[in-house]
């Protein structure tokens, strides 16, 4: 049974949809337990009943018809008691209810186990047998294990609406009006528009369900992708000619043949002709075949599942490439994806973008940071969103509360439009701060810099009066390519940025990949990417990449002399020294050997790892400036993955432990006379900005869209007040206490208005 368990889990993972999962479970459990019947009853919350949702052994007509209240019949009793019931003669039990339409009169023994998610009985799994006997302990344990696996799947289906659709398809369609899904509030603002679903590159399980707009066109696209894949496979076979046995070579021909019309190709064409887009049809056919192979007893055949999956991925990649080129984006696009990245963003013009929603990721994922830079309302971590079904529907993104509202009613739409207008008014009002100095109420100047990475956010920054670029994330242009950009390509990109801001300083951070920033052409697969190969750990291991980048950065600064270089993820002194030596070497080579006339740029280190906090003075001694990466520092200090929506509620930049670390950094830097700034997202939050000033920071670098808000907030508070607030905040026990204290203490009308989006109750409440 252990073997069966493993293969059931594999099959379930490869299932196309919720209905397929239920069917797999009943058929495989019946087989594994060698019983006559296996059925799943699911809780219909609308009617508080357990309804037969899938069966093997009972009459199929009974599905959807047999319904039992909690406590009613044996199934209802299992649900009510939330514990298994194991009987050798079910019909003699006082709770037994007979349903003539089920055909269960032949079955005497009964074992039912509750399916429990977060203490709620979401269903009941039942096996029945003709022979009178009590099921043994191993069988009971097997059923309990399957039920536990199934619980999460059912809970997810309930949240996405798949469960309701499965239990009562007609009713579901009739009721399918406005629906609200919860995610993580990531970029404030309201976006109203039309959903455009984009896919995670070449992931068969992340293909939206899209109908074909033009069937002949979809057929042609499919043919083209098949031809390209065949050519690719033949080239691969020929390239490996000397290294493969005759049988292995023949396998390539098998794959090529699989693509033919007599095989998979034919099945896909049928689905396209029936009205599915090529991509959707292809993924459906492949997933079904992968599932069949994965379920086979023979280990050799079972392994073929991964070959079919690989073939599927190859064709899908070609299909997506042509579709990406053809894709059009309506005005007010709400971009939706299972895992949105900067690459998806590159295809849409910003003017058309009204909002972004990502199923994976959280508030401080890099996509959210880009969204913030561009001022695009964003919700991350919307894990229950039925995103595959959403292409083309009307959607509201409420970035303040982390809500996604699909098919909004006219009333909801009107309420959100009013809210949007109020926000536009606030943005216009903030314009008056553009030419006012950034300083506290008593005139202490605070330098406000910007974080950039895209051309568009640089333009926005200039418009907001930024004093310089505190962080240019060089990895962002790397994302927009399909290979590492050459030295000259990089030089041009950096030059444009430095020219745009000259004579103001531009801080170029060297490549910071790894963590949640994997380049599509340089994948890094690790169990713990944020604790793995990131930032300078990668570039020091690849001096060829590092040196090319340093040369490009330095050459780009020629004649401008406004460059600063920043090193990410410094966690120890030897790495810092190795980086500094490399910068020095590249600079010397350019100046002394190649004749470039370059001013020597200041070089700084990011403080974003707890180890660096404790060695801040040693680091400060060796560099020209420090920049605090509070995004990473928060995640490493609090042990909360910045990218994981499940722990988003624990990720707090008001945590007193973080505030103490920030104070220590500011003091350490001051003791070494080393300038220090903060370039993490907290610098762009009006409340946190006041706190940072109180903790001793005089330079803050943030998204362009936050700049005027922060300036407005700082102008409301004197330096002495900010220091007093920070001192008290440090002594408070937790982040809630800090937030409440700050909000109460900073209750001026201007600040209240700046914070209104965040504090406001749900429009829909």
3-state secondary structure 28-53: HHHHHHCCCEEEEEEEECCCCEEEEE
User: Per CB under 6 A, which region of 238-246, 583-591, 624-632, 735-743 contacts ligand PEP?
Assistant: 624-632
Cα–Cα distance measured from residue 611 to residue 463, given in angstroms and rounded to the nearest whole number: 38
Cα angle, residue 113 at apex, residues 107 and 118 outer, rounded to 5° = 155
Cα–Cα distance measured from residue 169 to residue 149, given in angstroms and rounded to the nearest whole number: 25
Closest distance of CB 356 from ligand PEP, Å: 17
Question: Which of the listed partners (Mg ion, ligand PEP, none) does 630 bind, with a CB threshold of 5 to 8 Å by partner kind?
Answer: ligand PEP
Q: Restricting to residues 366-395, name those near ligand PEP by CB under 6 A.
A: 369
Closest distance of CB 473 from ligand PEP, Å: 5
Asked whether position 679 contacts ligand PEP by CB under 6 A, the answer is yes
Cα–Cα distance measured from residue 704 to residue 457, given in angstroms and rounded to the nearest whole number: 7
Q: Where are the beta strands (DSSP E) in 130-231?
A: 179-182, 184-187, 190-198
Cα–Cα distance measured from residue 567 to residue 539, given in angstroms and rounded to the nearest whole number: 10
Q: Which of 38, 400, 679, 735 is catalytic?
A: 679
**259-288 mask for Mg ion (x: CB under 5 A)?**
------------------------------
User: Per CB under 6 A, which region of 66-74, 173-181, 205-213, 625-633 contacts ligand PEP?
Assistant: 625-633
Asked whether position 629 contacts ligand PEP by CB under 6 A, the answer is yes
Closest distance of CB 700 from ligand PEP, Å: 12
Cα–Cα distance measured from residue 387 to residue 713, given in angstroms and rounded to the nearest whole number: 38
Q: How many other CB atoms sit within 10 Å of the CB of residue 657?
A: 14
Q: Which of 117, 366, 400, 652 is catalytic?
A: 366
CB of 601 or CB of 629, closer to ligand PEP: 629
In sequence order, what are the residues at sequence separation of 6 or more whose Cβ sits closer than 8 angstroms to the Cβ of residue 657? 637, 638
* Cβ(171)–Cβ(355) below 8 Å: no
**Is 366 considered catalytic here?**
yes
Tokens for 128, please give them: 């029945």
Asked whether position 632 contacts Mg ion by CB under 5 A, the answer is yes
Asked whether position 629 contacts Mg ion by CB under 5 A, the answer is yes
Asked whether position 341 contacts ligand PEP by CB under 6 A, the answer is no
Cα–Cα distance measured from residue 633 to residue 631, given in angstroms and rounded to the nearest whole number: 6
Find residue 128's DSSP bridge partners: 37, 110
Q: How many residues lie near Mg ion (CB under 5 A)?
A: 3
Asked whether position 218 contacts ligand PEP by CB under 6 A, the answer is no
**Given 510, 630, 653, 677, the residue binding ligand PEP (CB under 6 A):** 630
Asked whether position 473 contacts ligand PEP by CB under 6 A, the answer is yes
Asked whether position 631 contacts ligand PEP by CB under 6 A, the answer is yes
Asked whether position 339 contacts Mg ion by CB under 5 A, the answer is no
CB of 398 or CB of 632, closer to ligand PEP: 632
CB of 109 or CB of 630, closer to ligand PEP: 630
Closest distance of CB 474 from ligand PEP, Å: 10
Q: How many residues lie near ligand PEP (CB under 6 A)?
A: 11
Closest distance of CB 632 from Mg ion, Å: 4
Distances from the Cα of 491 to the Cα of 343, 474, 497, 557, angstroms: 21, 11, 10, 9
Q: Name the phi and psi angles at 557, rounded to 5.
A: -90, 0
Question: Which of the listed partners (ligand PEP, Mg ion, none) does 680 bind, with a CB threshold of 5 to 8 Å by partner kind?
Answer: ligand PEP
Distances from the Cα of 446 to the Cα of 416, 472, 638, angstroms: 35, 20, 28
Q: Where are the beta strands (DSSP E) in 91-211?
A: 109-117, 120-129, 179-182, 184-187, 190-198
Q: Restricting to residues 494-513, name those near ligand PEP by CB under 6 A.
A: 512
Strands 403-406 and 447-452, by their bridges, are unpaired
Closest distance of CB 633 from ligand PEP, Å: 7
Asked whether position 632 contacts ligand PEP by CB under 6 A, the answer is yes
Closest distance of CB 569 from ligand PEP, Å: 8
Active site residues: 366, 679
Which residues of this chain interact with ligand PEP, rule CB under 6 A? 369, 471, 473, 512, 608, 629-632, 679-680
């Amino acid at each position: 049974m252990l073997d069966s368990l493993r293969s059931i889990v594999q099959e379930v993972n490869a299932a196309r949809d919720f209905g397929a999962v239920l069917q797999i479970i009943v058929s495989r459990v019946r087989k594994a337990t060698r019983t006559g019947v296996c059925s799943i009853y699911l809780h219909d919350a609308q009617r508080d009943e357990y309804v037969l949702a899938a069966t093997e052994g009972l009459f199929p007509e009974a599905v959807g018809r047999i319904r039992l209240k909690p406590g009613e019949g044996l199934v209802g009793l299992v649900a009510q008691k939330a514990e298994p019931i194991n009987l050798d003669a079910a019909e003699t039990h006082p709770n037994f209810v007979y349903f003539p339409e089920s055909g269960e009169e032949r079955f005497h023994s009964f074992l039912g186990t509750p399916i429990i998610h977060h203490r709620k009985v979401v269903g009941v799994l039942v096996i029945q047998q003709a022979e009178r006997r009590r099921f043994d302990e191993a069988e009971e344990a097997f059923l309990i294990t399957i039920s536990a696996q199934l619980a999460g799947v059912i809970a997810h289906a309930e949240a996405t609406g798949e469960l309701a659709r499965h239990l009562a398809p007609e009713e579901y369609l009739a009721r399918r009006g406005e629906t609200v899904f919860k995610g993580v509030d990531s970029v404030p603002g309201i976006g109203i528009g039309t959903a455009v679903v984009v896919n995670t590159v070449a992931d068969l399980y992340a293909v939206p369900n899209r109908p074909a707009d033009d069937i002949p066109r979809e057929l042609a696209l499919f043919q083209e992708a098949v031809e390209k894949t065949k050519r690719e496979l033949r080239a691969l076979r020929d390239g490996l000619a000397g290294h493969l046995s005759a049988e292995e070579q023949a396998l390539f021909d098998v794959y090529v043949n699989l693509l033919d019309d007599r095989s998979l190709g034919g099945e896909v064409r049928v689905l396209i002709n029936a009205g599915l887009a090529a991509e959707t049809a292809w993924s459906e056919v492949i997933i079904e075949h992968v599932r069949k192979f994965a379920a086979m007893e023979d280990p050799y055949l079972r392994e073929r599942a991964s070959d079919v999956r690989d073939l599927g991925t190859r064709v899908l990649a070609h299909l997506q490439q042509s579709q990406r080129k053809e894709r059009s984006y309506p005005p007010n696009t709400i971009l939706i994806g299972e895992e949105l990245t900067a690459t998806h963003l590159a295809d849409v013009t910003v003017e058309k973008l009204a909002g972004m929603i990502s199923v994976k990721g959280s508030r401080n994922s890099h996509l959210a940071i880009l969204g913030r830079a561009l001022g695009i309302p964003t919700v991350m971590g919307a894990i229950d969103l039925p995103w595959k079904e959403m292409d083309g529907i009307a959607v509201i993104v409420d970035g303040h509360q982390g809500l996604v509202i699909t098919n909004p009613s006219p009333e909801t739409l009107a309420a959100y439009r009013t809210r949007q207008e109020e926000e536009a008014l606030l943005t216009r009002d903030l314009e008056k701060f553009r030419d006012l100095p950034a300083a506290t109420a008593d005139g202490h100047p605070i330098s406000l810099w910007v974080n950039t990475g895209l051309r568009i956010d640089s333009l926005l920054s200039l418009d907001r009066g930024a004093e310089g670029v505190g962080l240019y994330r060089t990895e962002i242009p790397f994302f927009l390519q399909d290979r590492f950009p050459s030295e000259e390509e990089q030089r041009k990109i950096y030059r444009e940025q430095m020219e745009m801001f000259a004579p103001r300083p531009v801080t170029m951070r060297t490549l910071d990949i790894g963590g949640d920033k994997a380049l599509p052409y340089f994948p890094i697969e690790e169990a713990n990417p944020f604790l793995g190969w990131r930032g300078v750990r990668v570039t020091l291991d690849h001096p060829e990449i590092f040196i090319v980048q340093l040369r490009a950065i330095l050459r780009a600064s020629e004649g401008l002399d406004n460059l600063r270089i920043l090193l990410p993820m410094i966690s120890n002194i030897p790495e810092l020294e190795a980086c500094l030596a490399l910068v020095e070497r590249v600079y010397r080579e350019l100046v002394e050997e190649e004749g470039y006339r370059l001013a020597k740029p200041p070089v700084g280190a990011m403080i974003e790892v707890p180890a660096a906090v404790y060695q801040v003075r040693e680091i400060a001694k060796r560099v020209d400036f420090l920049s605090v990466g509070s995004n990473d520092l928060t995640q490493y200090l609090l042990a909360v993955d910045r990218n994981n929506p499940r722990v988003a509620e624990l990720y707090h930049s008001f945590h007193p432990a973080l505030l103490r670390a920030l104070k220590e950094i500011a003091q350490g830097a001051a003791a070494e006379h080393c300038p220090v700034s903060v370039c993490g997202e907290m610098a762009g939050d009006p409340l946190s900005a006041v706190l940072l000033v109180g903790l001793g920071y005089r330079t803050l670098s943030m998204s362009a869209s936050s700049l005027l808000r922060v300036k407005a907030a700082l102008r409301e508070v004197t330096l002495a007040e900010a220091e007093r607030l920070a001192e008290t905040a440090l002594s408070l026990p937790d982040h809630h206490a800090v937030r409440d204290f700050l909000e109460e203490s900073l209750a001026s009308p201007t600040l209240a208005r700046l914070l209104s989006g965040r504090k406001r109750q749900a429009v829909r409440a």
